[in-house]
Amino acid sequence: MYDVVIVGGGMAGMSCALRLQAKGFSTLVLEAHGQLGGCAGFFTKQGFSFDVGATTLVDFQENGIGGLFCAEVGLELPGGEYIDYVAWLPDRQVTLYHDQRKWVRERAEKLGDSDAHRAFWKLSDKVSSVFWKASRKGIVLPFTSLADIIRAVKCIGVSNLYLARYLNKTMLDVLKELKLENDLPLRGLLAMLIEDTLHTTIEEAPFINAALGITIRGSGLMRPVGGMRGYFNYIEAHYKKIGGTVKKGHTVTVLQQREQWEITTSKATFAARKAVVTLPLENLYAIVSPSVQVKLDRYRTPGIDLYGGAIVVFLGVPEENVATHAICHHQLLIDYDRPLGNGNNMFISISAAGDHASAPPGFRAVMLSTHCSIAPWIDLPDAEYHEKKAAIASVLIDHATRVYPSLMLHHRILEVGTPVTYQKYTRRYLGAVGGHKLNRKNANLHAIPHDIGVKHLLLAGDATWPGLGTVASVMVSKIVSDRLYRTLMR
C-alpha cells in the first residue's frame, strides 16, 4: 500500500508527487496517457519534440514559485532560456520584455503614456506584485477555515488589503473607470494575454487574475531545453531516483474508499492511504461513488461553453526558415473588430537554436496555436472534420508567414491538433485545454476548494484554485502536499 496515490501525471500531479516523495512518503502516480504531461504534454516525431499545450515554465527562477519547488525536492533549476515575446497587433508591434525596465519603456512608447495609461499600469503592477508575493508565500483560496483567512492576511499584508475590492471587478470594469475601454491597441493586447492565461474575455476576466496574467512575463517565462518533453523527463528521472513510482497507460476507472483508497485502472488495482486527483471535475465525477458525486455536485457547472479548446499546427522546418527574428516567440492579433480565437489571435513558439532535444541539427520545432470553441468540433462526420481541420491549419500557417515568410519552404513535419485529438490522447473532458474559463463566479473566493469534504481525498490541478497554467499547477501542489504532510504526520 502506498501513502498517497496521485491520479494524473501532469504538472500538478508530478509536482505533488515529488514534494511528498521528497518528504519521505511513498507515492504512486497513475497516468492514462503513455507519457507524462497532461495539458503541458508533448509528442515526438522524426527527431522533433512538440509541445501540445503549455510551452513555457513560469517563475522558474531562484526564489520564484518554480525555483522554491525545485529547491524543496532537491532539483537544480531546469536548463532553458528566458524568453521575450513580440505582439503583432493590426497597426503596430509591441515587444513584451522579460526585463521590467524595458517593458515599462516599451508599453509607454507603443501603447500610450497618458495619465490614464500610467494609472492603469500602476494599478496592474501593484496588484500583480502583491499577489505574486502572496502566491509565493502560500496563500490559499477559497477560504475553508479561519486559518486560511489568517494566512491570507499575512501573505497579502494588512496595508494591501484594500486591493481585495478588485475581487469583484473585471478587467473591463477597470478599463471603463479609467476611460480606456475604447483604446483598441491596449484592449487588443490585453485581450490576447487574458485569453492565453485565463481562457476568457476582458468582459469576464476577474481583474486580479487578469493583472497577474498580463504581467506574467515579468516573472520569467522559460522554455526548457527539449520543451516540455525535456522538463518531464528531467523531473520523472529525479522522482524515480528518490523512490517514486509512475504507472503510465493506466486509465483510472474506479476510485473508491474502503478502509483505504482502492484505485482500479485499466490494467491493475492499487491501494493507498490518501488520494490526490488532478483530473478535470467531469473526469473525476465519472470514476467516484455516488456519495462523492454528491460532494462534487455543488461545484459542477454544466455547459460546453465553460470550457475552451485549441487548434495547434506542429511544424518541423529548416533552421533558415525562422532565422529572420532574434525573438522566437510571437503573439498575433489580426483584426481588432473580430472575436478572438480561430486564428484571429494566435501564438508562435519556436524551439531555441541549438536545442537538439527539440529538433535535429539544422532544424527547428515550430508550434502555431489558437484558442477555439469546442462545440463546433463535436461529432463531425470524418470528411467534414478533416476538411475543417485543414482549413484552420491553412489560416494559422497563412498568418504565421506574416512573421516568417519562408516558414513552409522544405518543411519536414506538418501535423494538426484539435479538441478531438486532445481528448483522444489526454482523455480530458471534451478535449478542453485547462480548467473552466475563469470568471468572478468560479475564481478566487468562489473557486473549487482542494478539500471538498471527502476524507483522505484532495483535489489539485487546473480545475481548482489558482486555476490555469504551469505556475498555478506548481502552486497548488504546494498547498495540497503541505496539507497531506500535516495529516500523514499525525
Residue 454 scores a pLDDT above 80: yes
DSSP state of 98: S
Q: pLDDT grade, residue 359 (50/70/90)?
A: very high
**Encoded amino acid at 165, one letter:** R
- Residue 217: per-residue pLDDT: 67
Query: Yes or no: is domain 308-431 CATH 3.90.660?
Result: yes
Placement of cell 524551439 in the chain: 351
Residue 473 CB coordination number (10 Å): 29
- Residue 463: per-residue pLDDT: 87
Measure Cα distances from 121 to 91, 111, 117, 209, 433 in Å.
Answer: 21, 11, 6, 15, 29
SS3 6: strand
% residues pLDDT > 70 (the chain): 99
- Residue 256: per-residue pLDDT: 95
Residue 469 CB coordination number (10 Å): 26
Measure Cα distances from 451 to 77, 140, 196, 465, 480 in Å.
Answer: 30, 11, 28, 11, 9
Task: Give the residue-averaged pLDDT of 335-345.
Answer: 96
Correct CATH for 2-32+249-302+434-489 of 3.50.50.60, 3.30.450.20, 3.20.20.70, 3.90.950.10? 3.50.50.60
For 196-251, the pLDDT digits (tens) are 989 999 999 999 999 998 887 666 789 999 999 999 999 999 999 999 999 999 99
Residue 62 scores a pLDDT above 90: no
**Encoded amino acid at 152, one letter:** A
Residue, of 265 and 433, whose pLDDT is higher: 265
Q: Give, to the nearest 10 degrees, the angle between helix 100-111 and helix 184-198.
A: 140
Residue 125 CB coordination number (10 Å): 17
- E-assigned strands of 216-307? 221-224, 245-248, 252-257, 261-265, 269-277
Residue 409 scores a pLDDT above 90: yes
Q: Going by DSSP bridges, is the β-strand pair 252-257/261-265 parallel, antiparallel, or unpaired?
A: antiparallel
C-alpha cell of 203?
Answer: 468582459
HSE, side-chain direction, 13 A CA sphere, residue 137? 16
- Residue 218: per-residue pLDDT: 61
**Any residues with CB less than 8 A from the CB of 21 and at least 6 apart, and which?**
27, 73, 239, 242, 243, 244
Q: What value, to the nearest 5°, has the Cα angle with vertex 177 and ends 174 and 182?
A: 85
SS3 content of the chain, % helix, strand, coil (to 5): 40, 20, 35
For 273-328, the pLDDT digits (tens) are 999 999 999 999 999 999 999 999 999 877 788 899 999 999 999 999 999 999 99
Among 79, 82, 59, smallest CA distance to 69 is for 59
Measure Cα distances from 29 to 16, 35, 275 in Å.
Answer: 10, 12, 10
SS3 80: strand
Domain with CATH 3.90.660 in the chain: 308-431
- Residue 447: per-residue pLDDT: 93
Placement of cell 497532461 in the chain: 38
Residue 337 scores a pLDDT above 90: yes
142: cis peptide before it, omega within 30°? yes
For 148-170, the pLDDT digits (tens) are 999 999 999 999 999 999 999 99
Domain with CATH 3.50.50.60 in the chain: 2-32+249-302+434-489
Between the two ends of the chain, the Cα-to-Cα distance in Å is: 18
CA distance 259 to 314: 47
Q: In what order do the strands lie in the sheet with 413-417?
A: 92-96, 85-89, 329-333, 345-350, 363-372, 309-318, 413-417
What pTM value is reported for the model?
0.95
Placement of cell 473526469 in the chain: 283
C-alpha cell of 333?
Answer: 492579433
CA distance 212 to 302: 27
SS3 45: strand
CA distance 229 to 220: 20
87 - beta bridge partners? Answer: 94, 331
Contact 175, 181 (CB under 8 A): yes
Residue 402 scores a pLDDT above 90: yes
CA distance 113 to 136: 31
Residue 391 CB coordination number (10 Å): 10
- Residue 135: per-residue pLDDT: 86
For 423-435, the pLDDT digits (tens) are 998 888 899 988 8
Contact 11, 472 (CB under 8 A): no
Task: Give the residue-averaged pLDDT of 85-108.
Answer: 94
C-alpha cell of 170?
Answer: 473585471
Count H helices and E strands in the chain, helices first.
Answer: 14, 19
Q: Which of 46-60, 211-225, 405-419 shows the lowest mean pLDDT across its residues? A: 211-225
Q: What value, to the nearest 5°, has the Cα angle with vertex 137 and ends 132 and 140?
A: 90
Placement of cell 509607454 in the chain: 108
